[in-house]
Each structure stands twice: as structure tokens, then as C-alpha cells.
Chains A and B, each alone.
Chain A
């Protein structure tokens, strides 16, 4: 804010993000910008600077990986030479292609975001609470679990309220207790892949188990062939002694075939009827519940259901793990009693220093002072008083004139793709807001 300038000049003055007064410098620390995955509220693990996302317990995933790698490694080392010579060299080629496909889809399933729903921002949560209180006629105690009913294609579906994420879960979404996230189109949490299986990675999971069934059957069949062909030449026991690895492979494959092929069959059924494991286990759309019960999400025919699940559009990740946390988060200032309000651009990180009490008590005093002083009183908000980048659009300059620098800055941030961090309010803020309300 430049004092003494004409109104027209003020409209286009630079809004600098850096504070210039000596008083403000101690508070202006150059903190390194954090990425959103670093403050992600769920129980997930992130690798490669947020590119890879997995569940907390990954032990079983490593077991899966080891089993596949060891079995295939043994197959290529001990059995493939014999089979390539005796039968055809295409066998190792097909084996290699299947192996690469299995590993690719496994890693894709394990490392991608299954469709996690970001938690509600404090304003959203407050708005929902207000709506629910209005509906319930609130009293002091916590009301019973909140549900909303919605009619989807003729079926009544109950949407449950998630107390952790503070949202009404969309249909087919569920909260994974292991990862502590709500996941869209939640299928199940698979420890073998070390991740939840949801909307965004279901097709990769299905491809993984399908290709793994083919690979298991393939290895099983050809190892048996190898032993049989070999035993025709040198006898059964000698053949076994000749390649002991084959015995191990047969054992692993034998036990895997039953489970993996069975699982593939089950998921093929789920895909063709457009259900999730979660819904099937609960019998949500089972006709046993009631005669009129049917699946409202099914497209009617098996082909369309399969195409939709496997070849449909892939939605992007909603949690933006690699985005940077924006420290300017315009928040709803709590209502006062006619006193002018400051502090609409409270820094999330300095919210402990700047609380609404400060704003409320000092607003009147600051109103009469020059902007620099008011900035000092508001500490962390200081560097937002009237400064910011040059207005880029007509809207910005217009809004700045009418609604102030903070509003214009918000538009500017939006234009740059700024987001708002999802860190929760401090308890003090919540208490103050309740008190002021």
C-alpha cells in the first residue's frame, strides 16, 4: 500500500509479497516450500518425492514381488534352455512378455493413487455441520450417525457421513481403516499389492491378477512338460535331481493357481456385473435382500460393463501429491458485531500467531492507523496488507478496487493455479469461532 497516492494509481500498484518494514523481518523466515504429500493426513507412504504412493504396511507386497521374481528367475534359468531346445524358442519369449506385463501391472497397482478423496477443508466441514445442525435441531450431545438418502436410477442409496474426512461419502466410496482415507469406488485393501484397490487402479489390479493367472498356468504347464520330457530320457528321479528348481516352481505354482485363478474368475464376475468386492460381500445389490433390489450402476449388458471398467476414461488423482502447499489461504473471518474485519488472508502456518482474537480486538485500532502499523499488529498477515503481484486481469483490478487487495490476490492465485492447504484449524480458532457464533 503506497500512502499518499491518488486512487487511480493505487488501483494498479504493486502488491508485493515481501514485507519491507524492519519490524516484520524477524517473522519473515524463508521456509522451504513443502509439497502436499508431506502433510498428507492419511496413513500412506510416499516415495520419489510424492510420485509413488503406497499403504503403510508393505511387507506382504515385497513377498509377492519376491515370489514372482524368484519363480520366474528359476524358470528362465533352469527350464527355458531345455524347452527352447526341445520344443520351440517362442516359449521363453512368451514367458518374458507375460512376466514383464505382470510386473508392470503390479507396480502400477501398488504405486498409484487408488482414488483417494481429499478431506474437507475447514470451511466445507463447517458448512456441512451447519446444515446438519439445522436439520437435526442441534443440542449439546453428538447426534447419531449422519446419512443422506439419494435415489440413483430408481434405487435408494444411503450416503454415509465420514467423521474422519468430514464429508458425505459419494456412492460406492468407502473409508479404508488401514490407510485412513476415503477411496472412490472402493473395492478392497489388498495387502499383496500393498495398496487399496479403488477407482483409479482397479483395471491395473485386474490386469495383474489375470496376467498372473496366465503366467502361473504357463510356468506350471511348461515345468511339468520339462520334467516329463526329461524323465523320458533319464528317468523320473534323475530328472528331478537334474533340476531341483523345477520342484520348487511346481509347488509354488500349484498353490498359486488355485487362489489366483479363482480370484481372477471372481473379479471377472464383478466386472461383468459392475460391482465392487465391498458391495458383493455386503450383498448390497443381491436379490435376496428384496425383490426390487438391483444394481443401479450396471449398464445392463456384460460387454458395456467390462468396457467401462477396463477401457473407460481414467480420472486424474484428486489429491495433487506433488503440488506445493500455498501458505495464503483466504479463510472465512468469523462474524463480528459490525466491527470491520481484518485477517481474511490468514497464513495457515502462522495461524497460531495470528488468531481471530487479535483481529477482533485490534481491528478497530488498526482501522485508524496507517497500513504498516496495522500490518505489524497482525504479524503474519503483515506481508499481505495491500501488496501483491500486479493485477493481471480486468477482474482483478476491478475486484481490488471494490473488495480490496486480499480478494484480488485470491483471484491472482487462482489464475496461477494456487490451491489451499488442507491443514486443520487450531483448537483455539475453533473455540473462538464457536464463542463468536
Chain B
């Protein structure tokens, strides 16, 4: 596909046709979860299974970040005892998982979404409100 583009294509600036926003799913309370409903704008672009798999993995990762377990309690107590100065040298569990999420999104963009003319934006850049999916105009089809 890369070989068939022409100089005309390169001059033609890419248009962002649309942006799809996957909203938060609050049915389990205030935990960070996103709706897995497949948006209609993506029907021609990507496989429904693929999309749902991405969102589900993201939901699992966010659940892992906010999980109340012995690890988070130990971290919380230790932080309190050291007057929260421990976070100057140590990353919180939440931050570690957010880095994992950023990596996953980058990987998904590289492997799955970019070849289809889509781009996932990390929800952290949108205040964990939405997953923004940008749809680019596919010029190889319009030529």
C-alpha cells in the first residue's frame, strides 16, 4: 500500500474525518471502566471483536490499578507512616499501571489501529473521561 501512493497524495494534507468518543461506563460505581459498545462509525474500519478486546483489556488494566488488595493497603500504610515522602523516590502502583496502559495503547496503535487509519488517544490525556479514536481519511481509497 505504501508503494502505490503518489506525490499528489503527499501534498494532500490528511483530513481528520471524525473523532469517536468511547464514554465511561459507571454501572460498577466510580471505577474507571469504558463502554464496550461498538460505535457505528467504526463499522467499516475495524473488526468488532478487535475493538471490544482492546476496550476490555484497558478496563482490566484500570481495574488492576484501582484494586483494593493487600498490596495497595501496605503501600498506603507505608506512605502514611513516612508522611508520604516515600513517593518522592517510589512510584505508586497506580502510576506503574498507567505506564503499562500507555505502552499497551502504543502497541495497539502500531499493530492494529494505525494500519486501518485510526488512532487511539490515551484516556489519561482526556482526564480519564473518554477513549478518543481519531479516524483519518483513507486517501488510497479516494484515488
Contacts and interface: CB of A to CB of B under 8 A. Distances in A.
B10 A10 contact: yes
A404 B13 contact: yes
Nearest to A296: B29
Contacts of B132: 123-124
B29 A297 contact: yes
Contacts of B52: none
Contacts, number: 194
A344 B65 CA distance: 35
A44 to B, nearest CB: 16
A170 to B, nearest CB: 6
A7 B114 contact: no
A395 B110 contact: yes
Contact of A127 (B19, B28, B77, B102): B19
Contacts of B23: 168
Interface in B110-143: 110-111, 114-115, 117, 119, 121-122, 124-130, 132, 134, 136-140
A396 B124 CA distance: 22
A306 to B, nearest CB: 11
A419 interface: yes
Contacts of B72: 311-313
Nearest to A153: B29
A406 B17 CA distance: 13
B21 A341 contact: no
Given A120-B129, A121-B126, A393-B110, A108 B119 contact: no
B10 A333 contact: no
Interface residues of B, number: 67
Nearest to A341: B15
A407 B134 CA distance: 10
Nearest to B73: A311
Contact of B126 (A124, A393, A415): A124
A401 B5 contact: yes
A125 B54 CA distance: 24
Interface string A368-405: 00110010000000000110000001111111011111
A231 B126 CA distance: 65
Range for the number of chain A residues in contact with chain B:
35 or more
Interface in A107-163: 108, 117-118, 120-121, 123-124, 127-128, 150-153, 157, 159
Contacts of A244: none
Given A124-B132, A151-B27, A313-B94, A7 B124 contact: no
B12 A152 contact: no
Interface in A62-90: none
Given A124-B130, A410-B134, A414-B106, A344 B10 contact: no
Interface of B: 1-3, 5-7, 9-16, 18-19, 21, 23-24, 26-30, 65-68, 72-73, 75-77, 79-80, 83-84, 92-95, 98, 102, 106, 109-111, 114-115, 117, 119, 121-122, 124-130, 132, 134, 136-140
7 contacts: A11-B2, A120-B129, A128-B21, A316-B95, A332-B18, A341-B13, A401-B1
Interface of A: 1, 3, 7-8, 10-11, 100-101, 104, 108, 117-118, 120-121, 123-124, 127-128, 150-153, 157, 159, 167-168, 170-172, 184-185, 204, 207, 296-297, 304, 307-308, 310-316, 318-319, 330-333, 340-345, 367, 370-371, 374, 385-386, 393-399, 401-407, 410-411, 414-415, 417, 419-420
Given A314-B76, A314-B94, A414-B106, 11 more contacts: A1-B10, A118-B127, A308-B68, A311-B72, A313-B93, A319-B127, A344-B16, A396-B114, A403-B117, A414-B119, A414-B121
